[in-house]
Amino acid sequence: MVQFKGTQSEDKIPQWLETIQENSWEAELLLSAVLLFGLIQTPIYLAEWSNHVLSWETSPFASLVASFIKGLELLRVGFIFHIIIRAMWIAQVGFSYVYPKGINVGNLKFKGRFRSELERSDSMVKSIMNLEKLASIIFAVSFSLFGLLIGFLGYILPYILLSLPLANNNLSNGTEIILITSITIYSLLSFFVFIDFVTNGLFRRGRRRAMLFYPIAWFFRIVTLSFLYKKTLLTLISNTKGYKRYIISGSLVLVVILNDKPAEFLKEYAIDTYAANTKNGFAQNANYESKRKPDDLLVLTIPSDLMNAKVLSIFLKDQSILSYRAPKEEKEDSTKRGNFNITTNANDNEFYARKKNLHKILEITIDSIPVETSEWINTTHPTNYERGFLSYVNIEGLSPDLHKLRVVLKGDTLSYSHRTDSLLANIPFYKTN
């Protein structure tokens, strides 16, 4: 029978809660499996929605959505580890039923340190209990990390809301001063909150400090949605002794701040791999719309490796792999060319300027023979909605044979992470008729 508050001492754990604690692994496994399936699907749909709705936005809200997706991926990794630990726990429980005494050291006849290691090893029951604790901690910490990341996004949001109006040149001096002052005060208060977090409550321990700091902490609790992770973190930290508690809080901060670094590393690796394969003349599925996968690197594509049409369409992605920044005050007859560089955001004027100057800086050849392209037009990719440029080449005169399309930058540089290469694409295709 469930015992409610008031029927016994609140310090004593009621029987119904002990029963739930003992059998929590059932709910954890079921919830992990269901949420893991949702966490695999949700980032995909959310990324598609973001690319479709925010693909032409120059605001930072697209970055917030991307960070939220990173949080979901972080939560997914935690659930995967939880399921692995729970699988080990189930295996140990099964073995404990078949072999309740665990390892029979005498039958092995090991000597020396090998025997002493086995004699000192944990019993089967203790191993099961350790795995039980580890699985429960991983499950709780996964939710806490997700909550921390969402809280970090909530912390960033006021910066965005205060900074966006500053881009308006028509602001009065008074409004601009108010916005800049608000950002400065918010940054200063954030510094105190950060120090309090990494020191596990430095400003909450003295009576006077606690009184002064409480309004600040209350405000940031709302901004950072601390109800998602506060109790779990405080429980974990308060039951950890010594310097380890500072390691925990510091590690959580690093995980939240650096959560996108592995993704950046993988992206740089993909860019370097693409550049090397392009330079060596390897055919890459990423260059063919009929073969590419949604997560393949998008730089430049043609419809297929088998072409039976009279016209070849070429899609060139803008932004994350390359961007063209036109020289300032460039005249119509100017022969100056801008630079290609990695970037993440640009306003629409720069986008249109890049399109206007593409014919000046791109050299497109088929079988080493320069070809004329139609005017480049603004478009979005048909599957992932990333914006870019589209042009067409007449290939009616090509013979039914293997041909190679090459797209090169004329005298400019394309930055692939820490290296430079002028070759954008090297795509073989077969003309069927």
Q: Report pLDDT digits (tens) over 19-49.
A: 655 566 666 667 666 766 777 777 666 766 6
Instruction: Please give the pLDDT value at position 15.
Output: 65
274 and 348 assigned to the same domain:
yes
H or E element that contains 324? strand 324-325
Q: Tell me if 33 is assigned to some domain.
A: yes
234 and 274 assigned to the same domain:
no
Q: Tell me if 5 is assigned to some domain.
A: no
User: How many domains does the chain contain in total?
Assistant: 2
Least confident interval from 67-76, 143-152, 233-242: 67-76
211 and 269 assigned to the same domain:
no
Instruction: Please give the pLDDT value at position 192.
Output: 92
Mean pLDDT score of the chain, rounded to an integer?
Answer: 75
DSSP 4: P
Distance CA 213, CA 220 (A): 11
Per-residue pLDDT averaged across 362-369, rounded? 90
Distance CA 204, CA 212 (A): 9
H or E element that contains 32? helix 24-54
Instruction: Please give the pLDDT value at position 130.
Output: 84
Instruction: Please give the pLDDT value at position 212.
Output: 92
Which tokens is 350 given?
């720069």
DSSP 122: P
244 and 270 assigned to the same domain:
no
Given a contact cutoff of 8 angstroms between Cβ atoms, the answer to whether 28 and 138 are in contact is: no
Q: Tell me if 168 is assigned to some domain.
A: yes
Least confident interval from 5-19, 96-110, 319-333: 319-333
DSSP one-letter string for 177-229: HHHHHHHHHHHHHHHHHHHHHHTTSGGGSSHHHHHHHHHHHHHHHHHTTGGGT
pLDDT for 8 beyond 80: no
Dihedral sign, Cα of residue 323, residue 327, residue 329, residue 332: negative
pLDDT for 10 beyond 70: no
400 and 422 assigned to the same domain:
yes
Q: What is the pLDDT of residues 87-105, one digit of tens each?
A: 888 888 777 777 777 778 7
With both helix axes pointing from N to C terminus, report the angle between 230-238 and 244-257 in degrees, rounded to the nearest 10: 150
Per-residue pLDDT averaged across 176-200, rounded? 89
Q: Tell me if 19 is assigned to some domain.
A: yes
Q: What is the pLDDT of residues 120-153, one digit of tens each?
A: 776 777 888 888 888 878 877 777 777 777 888 7
Neighbours of 118 (CB within 10 A): 14
Q: Tell me if 1 is assigned to some domain.
A: no
Per-residue pLDDT averaged across 282-300, rounded? 87
pLDDT for 315 beyond 50: yes
Q: Tell me if 84 is assigned to some domain.
A: yes
Distance CA 313, CA 56 (A): 22
- Which amino acid belongs to residue 420? T
Residue of higher predicted confidence among 337 and 206:
206
CA 282-285-286 angle, to 5 degrees, is 100
pTM for the complete prediction? 0.50
118 and 201 assigned to the same domain:
yes
Of 23-27, 135-139, 191-195, 199-203, give the range with the top mean pLDDT.
Answer: 191-195
- Token look-up 């249109």 returns 352
H or E element that contains 316? strand 311-317
Least confident interval from 146-160, 171-185, 359-373: 146-160
185 and 226 assigned to the same domain:
yes
244 and 332 assigned to the same domain:
no
Residue of higher predicted confidence among 362 and 304:
304
Which tokens is 300 given?
């430049």
Per-residue pLDDT averaged across 266-294, rounded? 83
195 and 284 assigned to the same domain:
no
377 and 411 assigned to the same domain:
yes
322 and 362 assigned to the same domain:
yes
Q: What is the pLDDT of residues 323-350, one digit of tens each?
A: 433 333 333 333 333 333 333 344 455 5
Last residue in a domain, options 257, 277, 312: 257
Which tokens is 69 given?
């997706």
- Which amino acid belongs to residue 24? S
- Band (390; pLDDT cuts 50, 70, 90): very high
176 and 39 assigned to the same domain:
yes
Residue 200 lies in domain = 15-257
Distance CA 123, CA 257 (A): 40
Tell me whether residue 71 is exposed, middle or buried, using C-beta atoms within 10 angstroms of its C-beta: 0 to 12, 13 to 18, 19 or more: buried
